[in-house]
Amino acid sequence: MSFQLTEAQQRFRDEVRAFIAARLSPATSRKVLEGYTLERDDYVQWHHALHAHGWGTPPWPAEHGGPGWDAVQRHIFEEETALAGAPELVPFGYKMVAPVLMRYGSPAQRDYFLPRIASLEHWWSQGYSEPGAGSDLASLRTRAERRGEHYVVNGQKVWNTHGQYADWIFCLVRTRSDGRPQEGISFMLIDLRSPGVEVRPIITLDGAHEVNEVWFHNVQVPVENLVGQENHGWTYAKFLLAHERANFGTMMGGCRRDLARLRRLAAEEPCGARPLLHDPLFAARLARLEAELVTIETVNMRLLTSDSATDAHSASFLKIMTSELQQAIADLSLQAGGLGSLVFDRNALTDGGLNGDARGSRCAPLAATYLNMRKTTIYGGSNEIQKNITARLLLDAPQGRAPEPGFDTEQQMLQDMLARYLRDAALPECLPDAIDADRERTHWQGLAALGVTSLLAPEQAEALGGGTTEAMLVLRELGRAGASTPYLPHAVLATLALRAAPDDGAHAWLRRMHEGEEGALVTLALDEAQTRYDWHAPQATFQAQGCQMAFSGTKTGVPYGSGAAAVVVSAQQGGELALFVLPVGLATCTRQYRGLDGTPLADLALPAATDQAMLLARGEAAHALVERLRGWQIAGLAALGVGALQTVCEMTANYLSERRQFGQALSQFQVLRHRFIDMRIHLLKAEAMAALAAEWAVRADSAERRNSLASAKLALAEAATFVAEQAVQLHGAIGMTAEYALGRYVRLLTTVRLQGGDADAQLRVLGGQS
C-alpha cells in the first residue's frame, strides 16, 4: 500500500499475514498466484478456516457475529489475502445479501440466514440480470404472483455467477406491473433446490463455466422469504449494489498480485539477448501500470481515512479506475507471453499446468485471464452506467466547493482568506503579452502582507509543525486563481535551499526574504538546455581560483531571474556536484522572455570569476539537497496543478450546463457527459497524488520516496494533459480564443505538466532507467 500504517494497523497486518501463512493451502495459493482455475472445495476450505478464526465475514459488525473491523482493517485484510493467493471470499452471501438482511430483513430472516451465511452452510448467488435487463435492471420481467402463503415465480435470470455451486439465490422479481418500473420490484430469497428451478451453464469467452442462466418454472416461494416490503425491492437493490462495488481492497490486492506475476513472467520471457523485463519499452509500460495502482490505492485510502463524508460518486470512480487497470494488466500480460499466450488448454488450467513444460505452464492462463477480465467493466453496473450515474450528481445537481479533507479550522480559515484575496485581486482574464512588473510586484506584496510568503521560514515553519500543508494550500489556491507568482521558486524552493546551508550569509538572505524586504527575491537556476530534466548532472562548471570562484555555463528558463536579487545555481567540477548562491548582478542576462504560464524567465550566463559565491552544498550533500528540492518542486507543482484542474473542471461543468445546442444544454449529451466524468476521474487521481507528494516531499531520500514522487508527477502530468485538452474540446471554438479565461489555465496546466519532468521522465524513474 502507498500510505503509512499506524503501529496498530501494522500489528494487524502482521496478524493477518501470520494467519495466512499458517492456514492457507499452498496448492490453493499456487492456483491463484499462477492464474489457474479454482474448484468449489478451494473456496469452501478457505472460508471454513477463516470462519473458525472469526474472520469469515470481514465487513460484519460484532453485533452480528463479525470481527467489527474498521474500513482500513478490512482493506488490509482484503489486500493481504489477495496478495498471498487466497481465494476471494464468495461475496454473494456475506457481502451482498447479508447487509440487506441486516438492514431490511425480519428478525426471523436474520436469525435463520445470517449464521448459515457466515459458516458457508448456504452458498448464495445473485439473481439480478435478465436477457432484456442487464445494467437496466428496472426492465426485468421475472414475475412473482402472490397465491395464499406463497409466491409463484416464473422467469429467467442470466450471468448468475457460481450458480452451479449455490444453495440459495436472492432475486429481484416483478410483483406489480403498473406505475414506474422501479416501483413494482420486490426482493426475494429462493431455495435453488425448489421444484421448478433449473440451472444451465453459460460458457464464457475464456472457455470457463463461471456463470449460468437460472430458470424458474412455477417455483413456489414462501411469503416469509420476501425481504422487507413488497414492491420496495428497488431500494434494497441500490443498497446492495453499493456493497457489490465496494470490494476495492481485494481488487487492488489482486492487481498487485497480478503485476508481480507479470514481472516474473517478463523476467523469464526473452526479448532479443535480454529478458523482456529489461526492454525499455516494456519497462515503461509496466511502470505506468504500477504507478496507476499506486494512484488508485492512494485515492482509496484517502477516502477511507478522510474525516469528511465520502463523495457519492467516489465508489463509481474507483470501480471504473480499478476495473480498467485489471484489464490493462491482463492485456500487457497477454502481450508479454507472446506466441506462448496462444496456447489455450482448459484442462491445463484445471490440472495446474502443462506437465514438463515450464514456459507453457507459465503462459497457459494468459489468454483465458485476458478474456475473462473483459467482465470487470461490465458487472456491478457497467462503467458507462457508472458515468451516467455520476454525471447526474456532478452535472445535473452540482455541489459547491467541499471542505478539504484533513484541514483543521485554522487551515480552512487560511484557505478562505486566500481565496477571497485572489478573487478580489481581479487577475486579468487572459495573460498579457508583456510583463507588467508593477502589477506583479503589487500582487506579491499583497501575498506577503497576508503572511503566506514566509510559511517555510524556520521560525514560522516550526510554529506550524513544518508548514508543508499550509504552503501546499497556498499553491493550490494560486492554481485555482490561475495566478503567476514566484511563490514556488522563491517562497518554497529557494527557502528550503537556504535553510540547508550552515553559512550565516544564507540565514541573512532568509531573514531578508521573509521580512518582506523589497529586492530580496531568491530563485532557483538549476535548469540547462543540455540537461533536460536532470538536476544532478549540470554542464555548468566551477573552479576555485584563490579566494575567487570561476564559473562557466548558462542557466536557462530561470523564473524571475532578471528581477531576483540572487539565484541558487548548480555546477560541477570533475563530475562533483555543488550548489551556490550567487547575486544575480554577477551573472549576465542573455535573454528575457515570458513563459507559457506568464512567468518572467531569463537565461543567465554565470560569472567568469567572483568572490561573492556562497557554497550551499557539495558532493553527496549537494545531491541530497537537489533530490530534496526536486521532491518539493513536484509536490508544489502538484498542488498548483490541482488548483488549476479544479477550476477548469468547474468552468467546464458550468459551460456544459449553460450552453445550448439543438434545443438542449450540452450537459445532456451522453458523450459529453462521459468525457466530463473522465476529466473528473483525472482530477480525483491528481488530488490524491498531490496529497501523497506533500507527505513524501518532507522525508529523507530513498527509492520509495523517489518512486512515490514520480508516480505523483506522472498522475499530475496525465491529468493536466487530459483535462486541459478535453476542456478546450468541450468548450468548442470559444476555448480556442486567447481572451477567454480558460486559456490561462490551459497554459498553466501545460507548464506544470512539463516542469519537474514530463510523463516520460517519470516513467524512466519508475522503470529504473534514470
Residue type, 219: V
Predicted structure pTM score: 0.93
Grid cell 445546442 is found at: 661
Residue 518: partners with Cβ closer than 8 Å, 6 or more residues away: none
Is the pLDDT confidence value at 160 over 50? yes
| Residue percentage of the chain with pLDDT more than 90 | 74
Q: For residues 461 and 387, which has the higher predicted lDDT (pLDDT)?
A: 387
Distance CA 474, CA 417 (A): 10
Is the pLDDT confidence value at 309 over 50? no
Distance CA 581, CA 501 (A): 10
Is the pLDDT confidence value at 464 over 60? no
Residue type, 30: R
**pLDDT value, residue 661:** 92
* H-assigned helices in 404-467: 409-424, 437-449, 458-463
Spatial CA neighbour of 128 closest among 169, 180, 178, 181 = 169
Is the pLDDT confidence value at 483 over 50? yes
**pLDDT value, residue 285:** 97
| Residue percentage of the chain with pLDDT more than 70 | 92
Distance CA 158, CA 199 (A): 10
Is the pLDDT confidence value at 759 over 50? yes
Q: For residues 310 and 758, which has the higher predicted lDDT (pLDDT)?
A: 758
Torsion of CA 333, 339, 340, 345, to 10 degrees: 100
Is the pLDDT confidence value at 355 over 70? no
Lowest mean pLDDT among 25-34, 196-205, 399-408, 549-558: 399-408
Binned at pLDDT 50, 70 and 90, residue 428 comes out as: low
Distance CA 225, CA 191 (A): 9
Is the pLDDT confidence value at 202 over 50? yes
Ranked by mean pLDDT, the top range of 237-246, 299-308, 419-428, 715-724 is 715-724
Name the CATH architecture for the domain at 631-766: Up-down Bundle (1.20)
Is the pLDDT confidence value at 422 over 80? yes
Spatial CA neighbour of 78 closest among 16, 21, 126, 162 = 16
Lowest mean pLDDT among 252-266, 400-414, 665-679, 744-758: 400-414
Residue 485, helix vs strand vs coil: coil
Residue 496, helix vs strand vs coil: helix
Over residues 496-509, mean pLDDT: 80
pLDDT tens-digit profile of 167-186?
999 999 999 998 888 999 99
Which neighbouring-strand residues pair with 558? 602
Distance CA 555, CA 567 (A): 10
Contact 613, 593 (CB under 8 A): no
Is the pLDDT confidence value at 433 over 60? no
Binned at pLDDT 50, 70 and 90, residue 447 comes out as: confident
DSSP at 486: S
Please report, for the chain, the start and end positions of each structural domain, with discontinuous segments joined by +.
7-89, 122-236, 248-396, 433-618, 631-766
Over residues 725-754, mean pLDDT: 95
Distance CA 88, CA 253 (A): 11
Determine whether domain 433-618 maps to CATH 1.10.10.10. Answer: no
Is the pLDDT confidence value at 70 over 80? yes
Phi, psi of 126 (to 5 degrees): -110, 135
Determine whether domain 248-396 maps to CATH 1.20.140.10. Answer: yes
The radius of gyration of the chain from alpha carbons, rounded to an integer in Å, stands at 30
Is the pLDDT confidence value at 40 over 70? yes
Distance CA 60, CA 58 (A): 6
Distance CA 480, CA 645 (A): 8
* Same topology between domain 122-236 and domain 433-618: yes
What end-to-end distance do the CA atoms of the chain give, in Å?
A: 23
DSSP at 286: H
Is the pLDDT confidence value at 698 over 90? yes
Is the pLDDT confidence value at 268 over 70? yes
Lowest mean pLDDT among 147-156, 298-307, 620-629, 696-705: 298-307
Contact 141, 155 (CB under 8 A): yes
**pLDDT value, residue 738:** 87
DSSP assignment of 157-200 equals EEEEETTTT-SEEEEEEE---SS-GGGGEEEEEEETTSTTEEEE
Lowest mean pLDDT among 128-137, 155-164, 401-410: 401-410
Residue type, 57: T
Distance CA 374, CA 386 (A): 16
Grid cell 458515468 is found at: 387
How many distinct helices (H) and strands (E) make up the chain? 25, 21
- The mean of the pLDDT values for the chain is 91
- Span 122-236: which CATH code? 2.40.110.10
CA 672 centroid distance within chain: 23
Distance CA 645, CA 693 (A): 17
**pLDDT value, residue 1:** 43
**pLDDT value, residue 245:** 54
Grid cell 456544459 is found at: 656
Antiparallel, parallel or unpaired: β 274-275 and 270-271 = antiparallel
DSSP at 312: T
Grid coordinates given for 580: 551556490
Which neighbouring-strand residues pair with 601? 559, 593
Over residues 453-466, mean pLDDT: 68
